[in-house]
Amino acid sequence: MKQRIIVWFRKDFRLYDNPALYSAALRGKVLPVYIYDEKYEGSWRTGSASKWWLHSALYDIKERLAELNIPFIIQKGNSLTILRKIIRDTNADALYLNVRHEPHAYQQDQEIMKQLRQEDIVCHTFESHLLLPSHTVKKANGEPYKVFTPYYKAFLNQMVPKPFPIPELISFSYKDTLQIEDLQLLPKVNWIDDIAKNWEPTERAAYVKLRTFASHKIVDYEMGRDFPSHALHSAISPYLAFGQLSPRAVYHYIASKQEGHAFIRQLIWREFAYHLLHHFPHTVTEPLNGNFQYFPWRDDEDSFEAWSKGRTGYPLVDAGMRELWATGFMHNRVRMVVSSFLVKHLLIPWQKGAAWFWDTLVDADLANNTMGWQWVAGSGADAAPYFRIFNPVTQGEKFDDTGEYVRKWVPELGSLPNKYIHKPWIAPKNVLDEANVILGITYPYPIVDHAAARARALHAYEAMKKSLS
- 187 in a domain, yes or no? no
- 182 in a domain, yes or no? no
One domain for residues 266 and 148: yes
Q: Give pLDDT, residue 1.
A: 60
One domain for residues 152 and 264: yes
Flag whether pLDDT at 158 surpasses 90: yes
What is the mean predicted confidence (pLDDT) over 158-178?
A: 96
One domain for residues 112 and 242: no
Q: pLDDT by residue (tens digit) across 413-460?
A: 999 999 999 999 999 999 999 999 999 999 999 999 999 999 999 999
What is the mean predicted confidence (pLDDT) over 174-194?
A: 88
One domain for residues 106 and 239: no
Report d(CA 181, CA 389) in Å as an integer: 45
Least confidently predicted of 90-94, 221-225, 341-345, 405-409: 221-225
One domain for residues 248 and 105: no
One domain for residues 263 and 347: no
**Listed residues 228, 257, 279: the one ending a domain:** 279
Report d(CA 171, CA 68) in Å as an integer: 10
Q: Give pLDDT, residue 57.
A: 98
Work out the mean pLDDT of the chain and round it to a whole number: 95
Report d(CA 459, CA 213) in Å as an integer: 44
pLDDT band at 467 (very low <50, low <70, confident <90, very high): confident
Sheet holding 94-98, edge to edge: 73-76, 28-36, 3-9, 94-98, 122-126
- 143 in a domain, yes or no? yes
Q: Give pLDDT, residue 311.
A: 98
Q: Which of 446, 238, 441, 265 is nearest to 357 (CA)?
A: 238
What CATH code is carried by the domain that includes residue 96?
Answer: 3.40.50.620
Q: 152 with 268: CB under 8 angstroms?
A: yes
pLDDT band at 74 (very low <50, low <70, confident <90, very high): very high
One domain for residues 220 and 357: no
- 174 in a domain, yes or no? no
Q: Give pLDDT, residue 466.
A: 87
One domain for residues 154 and 294: no
Q: Give pLDDT, residue 419.
A: 97
Residue 453, H or E segment: helix 450-468
Q: What's the start-to-end Cα distance of the chain, in Å?
A: 69
Flag whether pLDDT at 2 surpasses 80: no
Flag whether pLDDT at 66 surpasses 70: yes
One domain for residues 320 and 358: yes
One-letter-per-residue 3-state SS of 242-296: CCCCCHHHHHHHHHCCCCCHHHHHHHHHHHHHHHHHHHCHHHHCCCCCHHHHHCC
One domain for residues 344 and 373: yes
One domain for residues 145 and 122: no
Range of 458's domain?
290-468
**Listed residues 128, 149, 170: the one ending a domain:** 128
This prediction has a pTM of 0.95
Flag whether pLDDT at 188 surpasses 90: no
- 177 in a domain, yes or no? no
Distance of CA 249 to the CA centre of its chain: 19
Structural domains counted in the chain? 3
- % of the chain residues with pLDDT over 90: 92
Q: pLDDT by residue (tens digit) across 361-414?
A: 999 999 999 999 999 999 998 777 777 899 999 999 999 999 999 999 999 999
Q: Which residue has the higher pLDDT, 188 or 281?
A: 281
Burial 360-370 (b: 16+ CB within 10 A, else e): bbbbbbbbbbb
Report d(CA 427, CA 442) in Å as an integer: 15
Q: Which of 282, 214, 210 is nearest to 239 (CA)?
A: 210
**Listed residues 223, 246, 279: the one ending a domain:** 279
- 183 in a domain, yes or no? no
- 267 in a domain, yes or no? yes
What is the mean predicted confidence (pLDDT) over 219-244?
A: 95
What CATH code is carried by the domain that includes residue 424?
Answer: 1.10.579.10
Flag whether pLDDT at 95 surpasses 90: yes
Q: Which residue has the higher pLDDT, 173 or 191?
A: 173
- 195 in a domain, yes or no? no
One domain for residues 116 and 149: no
What CATH code is carried by the domain that includes residue 210?
Answer: 1.25.40.80
